[in-house]
Amino acid sequence: AGFLGDETMFFGPTLQALRSVGARTHVLCLSNGDADGLGAVREKELETAAGFLGVEFVEVVNDLKMRDGFNEKWPEDVVAARVETAVRRAKADVVLTFDSGGVSGHPNHVAAHRGVVRWRKTHTETEVKSKNPKAWALVTVHPARKFTMFADVFASWACETHVLAAATCPADLRRAMQMHRTQWVWYRKLFVVFSRYAYVNSLRRL
């Protein structure tokens, strides 16, 4: 995740789908969201929300090279190194991140994607290919589709060629987002009701 709350707002359906089949999930959050001086509080909120969603382990990065903010530029090699460490610790066989559009276009989301792409390139060069963890990206949809709620969910099932992960309980995703109390503002309240990302995720292999 780029920062705290992403795991629920954007990846929530996938987390629920994975939990429903007994998969173990870990969250690597690349920033502690300290742009407003609330980093420590938001880390606790993430732990609570992630625990509610059944996430087994949460790691929050607090690195001056990856500060929260629209004007911050995260070095690809630093992101890649963090991903590599987390993958080894968790013994992960799948890594999920944003695609190049970052869903919302936020530069931290885009930087997370680029860092994972960088990690994949170095990873395939240093280990046996068959043992490499698979990398998947959350697909950015057109703005016209983003807030069409159920209409886009049905259209996705009928027309999309991407892998789809559906939320098992959208209401629980709203509850989890409420646990991010310092970020529970009006536009996020609307997002978790009207955004298709609260109901389904489209995923593609990197």
- What is the average pLDDT score of the chain? 89
Instruction: Write the DSSP assignment of 45-111 as a string of letters.
Output: HHHHHHHHTT-SEEEE---GGG-SSTT----HHHHHHHHHHHHHHHT-SEEEEE-TTHHHH-HHHHH
Please provide residue 38's backbone torsions phi and psi, each rounded to the nearest 5 degrees: -115, 20
Q: What torsion, rounded to 10 degrees, do the Cα atoms 52, 133, 102, 9 define?
A: -10
User: What pTM was computed for the model?
Assistant: 0.90
Looking at residues 155-179, what average pLDDT do you find?
A: 88
Closest CA to 78 of 95, 96, 65: 65
What tens digit of pLDDT does each residue of 101-146 get? 999 889 999 999 999 999 998 876 555 454 678 899 999 988 888 8
Which three-class secondary structure state does DSSP give residue 23? coil
Looking at residues 16-25, what average pLDDT do you find?
A: 96
35: pLDDT strictly greater than 80: no
Beta pairing class for 94-98 and 134-138: parallel
Q: 152 or 175, which is more confident?
A: 175
Looking at residues 155-160, what average pLDDT do you find?
A: 71
The confidence score (pLDDT) of residue 39 equals 84
Closest CA to 50 of 79, 16, 84: 16
**Residue 186, burial from CB neighbour count under 10 angstroms (0-12, 13-18, 19+):** exposed
Distance in angstroms (rounded) separating the CA atoms of residues 70 and 68: 7
Looking at residues 32-43, what average pLDDT do you find?
A: 84
Closest CA to 200 of 159, 170, 158, 161: 170
Ramachandran region, residue 22 (left: φ > 0; alpha: ψ -120 to 50; beta: rest) = left
The confidence score (pLDDT) of residue 192 equals 93
Closest CA to 30 of 43, 18, 44, 17: 43
The confidence score (pLDDT) of residue 128 equals 47
Q: 155 or 79, which is more confident?
A: 79
Please provide residue 63's backbone torsions phi and psi, each rounded to the nearest 5 degrees: -125, 130
